Structure 1
Amino acid sequence: MTELRGVGIGLGVAQGPVARMSEPAPPPDDAPSTLSADDEKARVADAVAAVARELEARGAQAGGAARDVLEAQAMMAEDPTLADEVNARIAQGKTGEFAVFDAFASFRDQLTALGGYLGERAADLDDVAQRVIARLRGVPAPGVPDPGHPFVLVAKDLAPADTALLDLDKVLALVTTDGGPTSHTAILAREKSIVAVVGAVAATGLKDGETVIVDAAAGVVTTDPTAAELERAQNRAADRAAAASAPITDGALADGTAIPLLANLGNPDGADDAVALGAEGVGLFRTEFLFLSSNQAPTVEQQRASYTKLLAAFPGKKVVVRVLDAGADKPLAFLNDAHEENPALGLRGIRALRASEDILREQLTALAEADAATDADLWVMAPMVATVEEAAYFTDLARDYGVKTAGVMVEVPSSALLADRILGHADFASIGTNDLTQYTMAADRLLGSVASFQDPWHPAVLRLIREVGEAGRTHGKPVGICGEAAADPLLAVVLVGLGATSLSMAPTALADVRATLLQHSLDDAREIAQAALAANDAASARTAAQEAASSNKETQQ
């Protein structure tokens, strides 16, 4: 038996034979084309259009976050700048296949160098290129294997187009060697409730057909398991299935302390599913979907219609909306498209909105009008707040527009350290653990080479969260968590112990977190949090929390 360690997504456990993802097709030869330039250009244009339509169709079928990702890929495939680069190579006598390969690779390298949101798109661009080249060659696009029986899928990473439409009757679990807890693969796996362990580097040695146990709760892939281990894993899976089918209740600790469990949403269309899974409201509604696919800012009327649709789905419930989080790392021509050497540290979030204040004012107008037309409890927050002055600026402006509850996101260390002063102005704080971890550890959360640093269990990150929790208690103001960390059931307990008063996550994570919170009292949560804080690194903090949680359970028994 061997244990391969990675980052688990959720609490699931599964077992079965391995089926490896096929390796990418070899790159085309740089041989001169035997066709005219016009014919090559026409071939490529047809192939790109076909791939874009296929991606859109897959997105429409998958829905949710997958649809947003795949629609973005389709737009990327038909980017005019990229088409010009391909055509320039064809004009030099290259084949369509090589022109696509070379132009896409050049574009990919530029995106990788930019990092941030654009760096994340680099892997998606590789997938688009592979699909276009396969279409030009007249062969099937690389994709998920079909061994004819249920299997554990092992891959370097998965393209969004593949993850979105995984056949969950066939794919028992997912193991990747690359990626971290905030990668597209992890986010989509969590949304689809796929048992997954990502970033398991040693999984490169797994062979087709060998039986493994994938334990997401422990972040472990076990090879050559014994019959007893297989039986224990099967029993755990059955127990979890039974717990998932139990009646839905509001989030609470064992002592009755209420911990509202909210949903992270990127589109109003996901509201009904979130409610069905037990979301008590929305802890993070991302408004970027209205802006990122447009060449100009949406009108107040267009925004109001979307916000009204969202709020109407949660009558009497809290709905936290984040104003536009875009800027240099998500270039918008009408906001800020200036090149920056390090866009993750550039003009983004509230900084970009202040530079184009009319967009912020229109968004606040639309939100206030939607609030007046519905019965939801609307809260509005600003992204990437770094100073007390920014907090005061946003909350004052939001209130001027009729927003009753105005708050800030805590995503950079400065705002965590100044939380006691920021909460003197803001009505609430919401901690975005993905970015807070990135900026605390100086590690791009989308860069595979530093993925090991992107772990919200790190005591440095937990200390900053504790600062915000204590500031919330001092001022009597709510402190929510809306990053991916809230979807980790044990870490959710730690976050509550550090002072979080609500947790927001992908709706499919709600059941696991709800069940885990019910096993611990508030005093337990604080003890478990202290154990994690006393550790020196992320792995030790996780282990210490697990041991403290187990000790509390044994004491209760």
Structure 2
Amino acid sequence: MAEQVTRELRGVGIGLGVAQGPVARMAEPLPAPSDAASTLSADEEKARVTDAVAAVARELEQRGAQAGGAAQDVLEAQAMMAEDPSLADEVDARLAQGKTGEYAVFDAFASFRDQLTAMGGYLGERAADLDDVAQRVIARLRGVAAPGVPDPGHPFVLVAKDLAPADTALLDLDKVLALVTTEGGPTSHTAILAREKSIVAVVGTVEAKGLRDGQTVIVDAAAGVVTTDPTPDELERAQNRAAARAAAATAPVTDGALADGTPVPLLVNLGNADAAAEAVELGAEGVGLFRTEFLFLSANQAPTVEQQREAYTKLLAAFPGKKVVVRVLDAGADKPLPFLNDAHEENPALGLRGLRALRASEDILREQLTALAEADAATGADLWVMAPMVSTVEETQYFVDIARDYGVKTAGVMVEVPSSALLADRILEHADFASIGTNDLTQYTLAADRLLGSVATFQDPWHPAVLRLIREVGDAGRATGKPVGICGEAAADPLLAVVLVGLGATSLSMAPTALADVRATLLEHTLEGAREIAQAALAADSAASARTAAQEAASTRKKETQP
């Protein structure tokens, strides 16, 4: 009998989980319709398309209602996209030329998708959503099932190029043992979903294209490895690890700290106050990033001071005596708002966004600060307020001064662009604190749009260039005695969390479901050890080698400290 050969496929692991099971591959996209002339009249084709689009929109809304939360917002946006009047006009124009409904939808949606992709930023992210809607409409027109999550009738490891929001929203977590994607990075939609739902996942696993349906694999997120055709011993070890991790998850929740007792407060990133109760239950010591955009992005006009005050009061009341960091509106050209800035820009990621947009519409900033100050006065939380996309010392002074005018006691800035990282010592002479947004900092450091799949491999916060900039901010924080937090997706990576603390981060903020893994990993290392692991990562030449160097350094430290 031939000896069984195991093989390791490498990607980016999300969290510390490990799972095993048979592969089930996501169905391939439907083939493109042919450009053959329709045998029906334009009116008949239009009726078919109208019915199909309406059916898909209602299905998306229904899925959203079932899923709730952030997934509902995404799916309702997709439903609106499906019925966009401009898109309908484009489809109708093609039908008038004698095209079939399938081809008209395919071609019109592709044209819109290309326009969104070219815009980049928030709108660029919607391009993949548009593809998903088009596939669903075409499937409806053909009378076939839309490509989606398979159902082999047993638990499975889902392997896909990437996942669309409509598929991720209703994943049956009793059946999906783990996720493996061939595309995407640590900040991709799938990675964020995996963290939110505590799904074992390895993303960006290019070689996973060769996995077969039914093939047994071990998905090791901690190592970022997918092991194919594992031996019985490997399967047993993985099962034991999974059982030990499940047992650890039931341990009493404690505050974040290193093995030597150095406190590292573990905070959460929230998009609305409704998730506060769950975050507290999972051990959140406060909020490191409250995104206020949810109040603005679905509105045609800015919410009133009263509406904002109500939302902020609800949030602050959920965290009595705890730190709550609120980011003022982070919108602008990449998330255009008609009442803020909807002017077309060739490169919106480098345009009038964040604090720049708020300065251009200062009344919105002043109203937001008014509402925050009133909510602070009515509750017992420790409110900190920060400005997004700060790039200069002068912008820092501007925001801190105006925040002080409204009675904000603790005013800080987000470090998301290299200029603010390099000037952190001067910025922290004025700001009370800095919070590093690793997603955008990575994007701007490596000139790689964080929402563009074609450059996803560059969007990795493990890159030594990004780590060096974080060290600059950490050093500045120590020199000035000011706190430096992390609120990007990087903080949810347990080993990277150790590195960030070694670089000078004094608190970490993440999705609530990431708290347990990060808390457990921090307890394995002292501050001295964290600094050594960080130095090993800094000495590397690439993101992949930095991650490997940190893993090796962490392993060595563990062996040295074990009795």
If the TM-score is normalised by the length of the shorter chain, which range does it land in? over 0.9
Please, which moves more after superposition, 295-304 or 466-475? Answer: 295-304
CA distance in 1, matches of 2:527, 2:455: 34
SS at match of 1:180: coil
Q: Is the 8 A contact 1:66 1:188 kept in 2?
A: no
Match of 1:198 among 178, 200, 203: 203
CA distance in 1, matches of 2:83, 2:316: 34
- The residue that corresponds to 1:324 in the other structure is 329
- The residue that corresponds to 1:281 in the other structure is 286
- The residue that corresponds to 2:100 in the other structure is 95
Match of 1:549 among 550, 554, 561: 554
Match of 2:445 among 432, 440, 461: 440
Instruction: In structure 1, give the amino acid aligned to 2:105.
Output: V
1:262 aligns with 2:267: yes
Please, which moves more after superposition, 164-173 or 24-33? Answer: 24-33
Match of 2:468 among 463, 471, 477: 463
CA distance in 2, matches of 1:467, 1:388: 15
Instruction: Give, in angstroms, the shift of residue 64 of structure 1.
Output: 3.1
CA distance in 2, matches of 1:73, 1:490: 35
CA distance in 2, matches of 1:167, 1:335: 40
CA distance in 1, matches of 2:141, 2:340: 37
- The residue that corresponds to 2:48 in the other structure is 43
Instruction: Give, in angstroms, the shift of residue 70 of structure 1.
Output: 1.9
Instruction: In structure 2, give the amino acid aligned to 1:276.
Output: E
* Deviation digits for residues 253-296 of structure 1 (CA, Å, limit 9, x no counterpart): 11111111111111221111111111111111111111111222
CA distance in 2, matches of 1:366, 1:103: 43
1:373 aligns with 2:415: no
CA distance in 2, matches of 1:447, 1:556: 42
- The residue that corresponds to 2:194 in the other structure is 189
CA distance in 1, matches of 2:134, 2:505: 43
Instruction: Give, in angstroms, the shift of residue 36 of structure 1.
Output: 4.1
Where does 1:209-228 land on structure 2 (aligned, <5 Å)? 209-228=214-233
Q: How many residues align?
A: 557
CA distance in 2, matches of 1:370, 1:75: 33
Instruction: In structure 1, give the amino acid aligned to 2:246.
Output: A
Match of 1:474 among 454, 473, 479: 479
Match of 1:498 among 495, 499, 503: 503
Instruction: In structure 2, give the amino acid aligned to 1:441.
Output: L
- The residue that corresponds to 1:314 in the other structure is 319
1:8 aligns with 2:13: yes
Q: Is the 8 A contact 2:24 2:213 kept in 1?
A: yes
CA distance in 2, matches of 1:513, 1:187: 15
CA distance in 1, matches of 2:141, 2:303: 37
SS at match of 1:285: strand
Please, which moves more after superposition, 155-164 or 38-47? Answer: 38-47
Instruction: Give, in angstroms, the shift of residue 34 of structure 1.
Output: 4.0
Give the % identical residues.
Answer: 89
* Deviation digits for residues 224-259 of structure 1 (CA, Å, limit 9, x no counterpart): 211111111111111111111111111111111111
- The residue that corresponds to 1:361 in the other structure is 366
Instruction: Give, in angstroms, the shift of residue 311 of structure 1.
Output: 1.4
* Deviation digits for residues 341-392 of structure 1 (CA, Å, limit 9, x no counterpart): 2111111111111111111111111211221222111111111100001111
1:486 aligns with 2:491: yes
CA distance in 1, matches of 2:193, 2:208: 20
Instruction: Give, in angstroms, the shift of residue 513 of structure 1.
Output: 0.1
CA distance in 1, matches of 2:291, 2:59: 26
* Deviation digits for residues 55-74 of structure 1 (CA, Å, limit 9, x no counterpart): 22222322333223222222
SS at match of 1:11: coil
Instruction: In structure 2, give the amino acid aligned to 1:388.
Output: V
- The residue that corresponds to 1:303 in the other structure is 308
Please, which moves more after superposition, 233-242 or 59-68? Answer: 59-68
Q: Is the 8 A contact 1:323 1:382 kept in 2?
A: yes
Instruction: Give, in angstroms, the shift of residue 46 of structure 1.
Output: 3.2
Change (3 A) 1:331 1:6: same
Change (3 A) 1:343 1:228: same
Instruction: In structure 2, give the amino acid aligned to 1:306.
Output: A
CA distance in 2, matches of 1:95, 1:546: 55
Match of 1:400 among 385, 405, 415: 405
Match of 1:339 among 325, 341, 344: 344
Instruction: In structure 2, give the amino acid aligned to 1:177.
Output: T
- The residue that corresponds to 1:163 in the other structure is 168
1:84 aligns with 2:92: no
Q: Is the 8 A contact 1:65 1:188 kept in 2?
A: no
- The residue that corresponds to 2:25 in the other structure is 20
SS at match of 1:16: strand
CA distance in 2, matches of 1:305, 1:35: 55
- The residue that corresponds to 1:352 in the other structure is 357
Instruction: In structure 2, give the amino acid aligned to 1:322.
Output: R
Instruction: In structure 2, give the amino acid aligned to 1:155.
Output: A
Q: Is the 8 A contact 1:64 1:267 kept in 2?
A: no
CA distance in 2, matches of 1:249, 1:300: 37
CA distance in 1, matches of 2:100, 2:380: 59
SS at match of 2:16: coil
CA distance in 2, matches of 1:43, 1:515: 55
CA distance in 1, matches of 2:548, 2:101: 53
Instruction: In structure 2, give the amino acid aligned to 1:467.
Output: E
CA distance in 1, matches of 2:464, 2:180: 27
CA distance in 2, matches of 1:329, 1:393: 23
Instruction: Give, in angstroms, the shift of residue 39 of structure 1.
Output: 4.0
- The residue that corresponds to 2:156 in the other structure is 151
- The residue that corresponds to 2:145 in the other structure is 140
Instruction: Give, in angstroms, the shift of residue 91 of structure 1.
Output: 2.7
Tell me the TM-score normalised to structure 1 length.
0.97
CA distance in 2, matches of 1:382, 1:142: 42
Match of 1:294 among 285, 299, 310: 299
CA distance in 2, matches of 1:509, 1:435: 20
CA distance in 2, matches of 1:136, 1:158: 22
- The residue that corresponds to 2:113 in the other structure is 108
Instruction: Give, in angstroms, the shift of residue 550 of structure 1.
Output: 1.2
- The residue that corresponds to 1:534 in the other structure is 539
* Deviation digits for residues 299-347 of structure 1 (CA, Å, limit 9, x no counterpart): 2222222112211211111111111111111111221112212111111
CA distance in 2, matches of 1:39, 1:214: 49
Instruction: In structure 2, give the amino acid aligned to 1:483.
Output: G
1:62 aligns with 2:67: yes
Instruction: In structure 1, give the amino acid aligned to 2:84.
Output: D
Q: Is the 8 A contact 1:456 1:462 kept in 2?
A: yes
The runs of 5 or more residues in structure 1 that have no matched partner are none
CA distance in 2, matches of 1:56, 1:373: 37
CA distance in 2, matches of 1:99, 1:373: 56
Q: Is the 8 A contact 2:184 2:457 kept in 1?
A: no
1:416 aligns with 2:421: yes
Q: Is the 8 A contact 2:484 2:504 kept in 1?
A: yes
The runs of 5 or more residues in structure 2 that have no matched partner are 1-5
SS at match of 2:457: helix
Change (3 A) 1:25 1:462: same
- The residue that corresponds to 2:3 in the other structure is none
CA distance in 1, matches of 2:282, 2:477: 29
CA distance in 2, matches of 1:332, 1:42: 33
Instruction: In structure 1, give the amino acid aligned to 2:204.
Output: G
Instruction: Give, in angstroms, the shift of residue 471 of structure 1.
Output: 0.9
